Structure 1
Amino acid sequence: MGIKKSLLIELERETQNTRRVLECLSDEHLLWRPHPKSMSVAELCCHVVELHNWVSEALVKSVFDFKVDYKRLQTNSIQEIRDILEAGYPLNKQAIENASDESWEEEWTLQAGDWIIAKVPKAGAIRFIINNHIIHHRGQLTVYLRLLDIPVPGLYGPSADDQQ
């Protein structure tokens, strides 16, 4: 299996997992936050979805500069968040399909103006900067679900709620 095929499988499965978490939420939950220093449900959902779309928006560039390229996703509608995830999926898939195997070895830079945050091969960026970051924040969302007494969907196997 080539890198492209493995990335496409991961893209599909991680998008599906995010979809499952978003399906548990409604607009009434969006302003809730577990602590004043925590993101709200809306902020966290938006961040997870915007990270998914970095595959087609950030990885296609050799440099992604927060001061130039980043626009924070903001909405107060869970349906709009879901729609943005769905609209981004085919674009993300196409970005992976259009990339050559060699391009995954090319250096990718994440920066904020003059501050270099990371310089990694694109294969490392999709793994470390994007997918691991998605998984981390989606995990936070599952804790939010638990705190809101919303059944948590199983993502990598059954959850405690799936086994009742």
Structure 2
Amino acid sequence: MALAQALLPEFEHEMATLRRVIERIPAAHLDYRPHPKSFTLGDLANHLVSIPGWAVSTLTMTELDFGLPETQARQPKPSSTTEGLLRTLDTQVEAALGALSKTADEDFHVVWTLKNNGEVLFAMPRIAVYRGFVMNHLIHHRAQVAVYLRMLEVPVPSIYGPSADEN
């Protein structure tokens, strides 16, 4: 089995779970911030729905420089509605599925570099970037949103098993 084919079920499962979490976000509370050092719910949610698209740059390019104006211009526009967040998520997931399904095994071993204004932040094989920088990063922030939901008294959906709100 090709590596991409082995990774697709996990990606699809995590994205379906992410969609359930995003669906619960109350637009009226996008300015909620549990601590002065925390992201607002809106900033965190907008960041989160853009992460699946990072799989595209990871799997189709050999480097990305966050500091370049053209990179910043390609970022999804922030949304102030739950529906807008879901549209961004769906667009990013569709693009990521396309890139992932076309990635050959040998391409996962190509070194990918992240830069900021020319400064190398890290360089790793694509598979490590996909797993850590894309998937683990997404799962981390999805958990933060679930905590925000709990603090706002919004029922938390099942993620890896029943939540206190869903059996």
Q: TM-score, normalized by length of structure 1?
A: 0.93
* Residues 1:2 and 2:6 aligned together: no
- Structure 2: unaligned runs, 5 residues or longer: none
Quote the residue 1:29 is aligned against: 29
Map 1:1-164; keep pairs closer than 5 Å: 1-68=1-68, 69-70=71-72, 71=75, 73-163=77-167
Q: Which amino acid aligns with 1:98?
A: K
Query: Is 1:47–1:73's contact at 8 Å kept on the other side of the alignment?
Result: no
Percentage identity across paired residues of the two chains = 34
Count of residue pairs brought into register by the alignment: 163
Deviation at 1:57, TM superposition (A): 3.6
Deviation at 1:143, TM superposition (A): 0.4
Q: What is the alpha-carbon distance in structure 1 between the residues aligned to residue 77 and residue 38 of structure 2?
A: 17
Q: What is the alpha-carbon distance in structure 2 between the residues aligned to residue 127 and residue 58 of structure 1?
A: 10
Q: What is the alpha-carbon distance in structure 2 between the residues aligned to residue 53 and residue 74 of structure 1?
A: 14
Deviation at 1:72, TM superposition (A): 6.5
Deviation at 1:73, TM superposition (A): 4.3
CA offset digits 1:98-146 (Å, max 9, x no partner): 1111100000001102321111111111001110000001110010011
SS at match of 2:67: helix
Q: What is the alpha-carbon distance in structure 2 between the residues aligned to residue 57 and residue 80 of structure 1?
A: 22
Change (3 A) 1:57 1:108: closer
Q: What is the alpha-carbon distance in structure 1 between the residues aligned to residue 76 and residue 4 of structure 2?
A: 28
Q: Which amino acid aligns with 1:105?
A: H
- Structure 1: unaligned runs, 5 residues or longer: none
Q: What is the alpha-carbon distance in structure 1 between the residues aligned to residue 49 and residue 124 of structure 2?
A: 22
Note the aligned Cα RMSD (angstroms).
1.4
Q: What is the alpha-carbon distance in structure 2 between the residues aligned to residue 81 and residue 155 of structure 1?
A: 19
Q: What is the alpha-carbon distance in structure 1 between the residues aligned to residue 31 and residue 128 of structure 2?
A: 34
Q: TM-score, normalized by length of structure 2?
A: 0.91
Q: Which runs of 4+ in 1 moved over 3 A?
A: 70-73
Deviation at 1:58, TM superposition (A): 4.2
